[in-house]
Amino acid sequence: MTKPIRPTPEQLAAAQGTTIPDVTAPGLRVLFCGINPGLWSGATGHHFARPGNRFWPALHRSGFTPRQFRPDEQRELLALGLGITNVVARTTAKADELTAEEYRQGGAGLVERVERLRPRVLAVLGIGAYRTAFGRPRTRIGRQPERIGDTEVWVLPNPSGLNAHYTLDGLAAEFRALREALPPAD
């Protein structure tokens, strides 16, 4: 059954605490990692689905995609060597509903996924989530000194419309810095 693009209030309420499938494959160029799915994502089954989330525009403006994809086109990222996962799988209305323990457990699960999938880069979208999940309180945006196996780790700003610290152009610039640091696609 196809889920609606614009969920009803009842569908949003029913999405609380659900999960949505990752968009992953072995050997991706970049595995983008959100904090956790919001209710719109839970209701539609698509990552970064809430209107106002700037993931899809930033991805395009940074040069990762040839055009701006819609959330329901998320599987098309795989052909570009890109994927999506989350630190915490459980959907919530806001990320502040997550506990520090959920972040830590999510970070451990993320390490296992990265070791299994072996992307070139893991890009965590949210500095606070990264700091808590990996116990790195002094982390800054950009390439991290730590790796997970052979996988480089980057921290990028959270693309949520609630992140007032970054404009769309600022987000796209940080995403572009990652894209330009990647070796050419095979």
46, 47, 86, 158: which one is catalytic?
Answer: 47
Q: How far is CA 161 from the centre of its chain?
A: 14
| Nearest residue to 56 (alpha-carbon basis) of 47, 79, 121 | 47
Which residue carries 């987000």 as its tokens? 171
Cα dihedral 39→45→46→47 (10° resolution): 50
Catalytic residue status for 60? no
36, 53, 86, 158: which one is catalytic?
Answer: 36
Catalytic residue status for 47? yes
Q: Catalytic residues, which ones? A: 36, 47
